[in-house]
């Protein structure tokens, strides 16, 4: 990790702790959603076997292990880490966590170049919105991290190791190898940043976690056609509960209505009017 990226991060980010920070929520008996500053991560499973979905912000490894200890006990460690995508707010503490646990990491094969130091994400696009988060986004680290051999591609059959009953679904657009996780049995969805339940461009709404369905965070999304297709794919699943990368989990009728509204009005709600990544 580069020194100047870190210090930039600190000045840009420490004040941006959302009111929900440090809060955990058991959304289902075996799905626990935890808010780390501005981003959500999840534990799926029980104390005997569980998987950590995404790894939060940089410098949060101790907070995450404390949270796991509190939830599953002193000896608890995940069987694997599953990544929805490799943006810095989802892999921020990955390297530090892997120093504590030698566990496999699973991601989509198209995301692996960003996790093995071969590729960087394009820089955040500050032109997409007038909000402060978008203005700050060029300062967000866009460097791919490098965890080498420890990252493996998901099995081709859609299954997810150590997560029986769950399937990964390729939902590109926000990033090339973005995935969402779905369990047919109870229609539980972990959507990553394919859509979110808080308008990420508005600092006020991020801080207060005002619930409002929104497309993928604009400043980072590079392929809006693919992002739209991905939202349609997820809407068609008719999820019963959704944990998103940012914002509070949404359920039931509220979720289905919001998702179909987002799908029907994607251009107006989700897509930026000016983006270096549209046209």
Exposed, middle or buried: residue 19 (CB in 10 Å: 0-12, 13-18, 19+)?
exposed
Residue nearest to Zn ion (CB): 87
Beta-bridge partners for 243: 190
Q: Write out the two tokens for 40.
A: 């959500």
Interaction site with Zn ion (CB under 5 A): 87, 89, 193, 245
Torsion of CA 117, 12, 209, 114, to 10 degrees: -10
* Two structure tokens written together for 126: 């500050």
> Minimum distance from CB of 9 to Zn ion (Å)?
14
Residue 221 Cβ vs Zn ion, minimum distance, rounded to whole Å: 8
Q: How far is the CB of 60 from Zn ion (least distance, A)?
A: 14
How far from chain centre, in Å, is Cα 55? Answer: 9
Question: Contact, 235 vs 266, CB < 8 A?
Answer: no
Task: Give whichever of 85 and 162 is closer to Zn ion, judged by the CB atom.
Answer: 85
Comparing CB distances to Zn ion, the nearer of 76 and 110 is 110
Q: How far is the CB of 249 from Zn ion (least distance, A)?
A: 15
- Rank residues 244 and 263 by Cβ distance to Zn ion and give the closer one: 244
Nearer to Zn ion among residue 36 and residue 258 (C-beta): 36
Provide the residue count of the chain: 279
Q: What is the CA radius of gyration of the chain?
A: 17
Give 125 or 193: the residue with its C-beta nearer to Zn ion.
Answer: 193
Least Å from the CB of residue 191 to Zn ion:
11
């Amino acid at each position: 990790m580069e020194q100047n990226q870190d210090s930039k991060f600190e000045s840009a980010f420490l004040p941006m702790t959302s009111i929900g920070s440090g809060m955990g929520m058991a959304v289902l008996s075996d799905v626990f959603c935890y808010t780390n500053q501005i981003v959500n991560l999840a534990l799926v499973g029980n104390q005997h076997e569980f998987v950590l979905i995404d790894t939060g912000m940089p410098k949060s490894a101790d907070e995450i292990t404390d949270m796991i200890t509190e939830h599953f006990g002193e000896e608890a460690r995940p069987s694997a880490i599953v990544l929805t995508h490799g943006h810095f707010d989802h892999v921020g503490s990955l390297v530090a966590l892997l120093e504590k646990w030698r566990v496999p990491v699973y991601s989509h094969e198209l995301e692996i170049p960003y996790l093995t130091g071969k590729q960087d994400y394009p820089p955040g696009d500050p032109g997409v919105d007038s909000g402060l988060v978008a203005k700050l986004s060029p300062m967000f680290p866009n460097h791919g991290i490098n965890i080498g051999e420890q990252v493996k591609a998901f099995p081709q059959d859609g299954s997810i190791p150590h997560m029986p009953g769950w399937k990964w679904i390729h939902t590109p657009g926000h990033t090339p190898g973005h995935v969402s996780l779905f369990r047919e049995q109870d229609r539980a969805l972990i959507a990553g940043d394919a859509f979110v339940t808080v308008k990420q461009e508005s600092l006020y709404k991020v801080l207060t976690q005002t619930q409002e369905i929104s497309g993928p965070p604009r400043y980072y999304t590079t392929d809006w056609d693919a992002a739209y297709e991905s939202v349609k794919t997820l809407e068609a699943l008719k999820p019963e509960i959704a944990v998103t990368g940012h914002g509070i989990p949404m359920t039931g009728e509220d979720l289905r209505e919001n998702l179909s509204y987002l799908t029907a009005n994607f251009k107006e709600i989700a897509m930026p009017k000016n983006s270096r990544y549209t046209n």
